[in-house]
Amino acid sequence: MATWWMLDGVPQKSRSPGRALARSATGAPVAYIVAAVRQVFGENGIDLSGTAATMYAAGAPVADLASARPGDLLFWGTPSNIHHVAIYIGDGKMIEAPHTGATVHETTVYYGDFLGIRRVLP
């Protein structure tokens, strides 16, 4: 089973031990995706305290997916009602837990009510 972990602030996929960010579709469920995002960045020395809205406000805007880098955060909703956040991992893919209790997994970035991309890594 592949494991996600951070290396120099960038999510990495590896079959070797490391700091677990998420597992494949058979991985552990998460109670609240913002908490998972906060935890993985915190384990790597980046403080993302607060809500999805404060993470969105704190990050530097990224113009579009073509400009996104692994580790950028993706948001859905409206500026006053952000309801979802995921971590971009490159090649049009992200890691997310689509709802409370869902398994954290890798998937293709989808748009729906996509709000935008923010860079929080230095």
Range of the domain at 51: 30-119
| Greater model confidence, 69 or 104 | 69
**Residue-wise pLDDT tens digits, 2-49:** 444 444 455 555 433 222 333 332 344 454 677 778 877 777 778 888
- Does any domain span residue 51? yes
Q: Looking at the domain assignment, is residue 6 inside a domain?
A: no
Q: Can you tell me the distance from the alpha carbon of 79 to that of 52, in angstroms, rounded to the nearest whole number?
A: 10
Q: How many beta carbons lie within 10 A of that of residue 96, not counting itself?
A: 24
Bigger pLDDT: 8 vs 97: 97
CA atoms of 60 and 38, how far apart (whole Å)? 17
Task: Decide if 88 is inside a domain.
Answer: yes
pLDDT (0 to 100) of residue 17: 27
Average pLDDT over residues 94-111: 80
Placement of tokens 């890798």 in the chain? 106
Tell me, yes or no, whether 52 lies in a domain. yes
Whether 14 maps to a domain, the answer reads: no
> How many independent structural domains does the chain possess?
1
Q: How far apart are CA 64 and CA 100, in angstroms?
A: 27
